[in-house]
Amino acid sequence: MVLRLLALSPLAFVFACAASQPPAPPPQASATPVEPPPAPVVAAPAAPGPITVDVFTAPDEASAVNSYLVQNDRELIVVDGQMVVPAAQGLVEKIKATKKAPKAFFLTHAHPDHYFGFHALQQAFPGAPVYATAGVKAEFDGAAKGTLEPMKGMLGAAAPTDIAKVTLLEGALELGGEKLEVIELNGGEHSVSAIVRIPSIKAVLAGDHLYASVRNWMKVCDGKTWIGHLEEWKKGDAATTYYPGHGAARGGADLLDANIACIQGFEAEVAKAKGKDEAALVADAMKLALAKFPTHRAPQFLDWTMADYLKCSRPAKGGKAAAPAKSAAPVKLAARAKK
């Protein structure tokens, strides 16, 4: 028994010695500082894509009026808002197909066929304001409410139930950081109107300063100023593409020339009209205008404006031109569509 204890004692001694040794010192910090991991690289947001222009055109019985979807791959502005509710609803569906809500609407001039539809558009897209220049807004505010009830008699269920609010455009329209140039013009097709230039694609949304195979609205009797605007564009405009207010065909200088020819042709032809009384004079002028441009669409424009044009373009008794009067009752769209 004693021998076995002695034999084990050296091993026990080793363990005892190991247990009595001081702990090893901690590892020394490296003299070289450790670099932190690099920050993750965040890519800059891609620039928006190029601006494009798409058109929605109403049927002829709704005056073939155009609304334009000006957009890039992120944002959308709609120029002009249609006249009848069914056309405005068709425009709503076209907008929804882009998967973009409009950031704004824009009104080129205060004619009901361009602003009646904004009520339906704002119901579908309540966050988007309807902008207009100062002159267009002033005319809209003074006349728009008074146009609704008379037009309901013509449009029936296709008329809006209310008029949209128009907001003054302060500053510029912008799309993806690009400023769209808004220019207000006096005289011509209408007393005051605005056009929109898109510099990056050399395009002009001309509103009703241009028509494409649709009868020009001649009620204002200001063909001289109208032609003057178009001639100025031909001489000094950098645009290569013009978008009309009526009729879907866009064009270049050829579209400007076609409108100048239409204005001049209408004035020269209607000047030949004769009649023993006002009704006969209007009937003869209508016949001449229809024959001059037999393929032009939207003949209801003649129904709505010819009497006024004759009064303001011809001297009344005493040698002075008569002031424009209210248009004769226009033909209902449904009746016109059947012809």
Model confidence pLDDT, tens digit, residues 63-73:
999 999 999 99
d(C-alpha 192, C-alpha 194), whole Å: 7
Closest among 251, 205, 195 to 71, alpha carbons compared = 205
Tokens representing residue 204 in the block: 């002009």
Across 319-330, b (16+ Cβ under 10 Å) vs e yields eeeeebeeeeeb
Residue identified by tokens 């898109």 is 198
pTM of whole model > 0.85? no
- What integer pLDDT is reported at residue 6 of this predicted model? 35
Virtual torsion, Cα 288, 294, 298, 300, nearest 10 deg: 30
Write out pLDDT tens, residues 123-170: 999 999 999 999 999 999 999 989 999 999 899 999 999 999 999 999
Distance from C-alpha of 51 to C-alpha of 71, rounded to nearest angstrom: 5
Q: Percentage of the chain with pLDDT > 90?
A: 73
- Domains within the chain, CATH numbers bracketed: 52-267 (3.60.15.10)
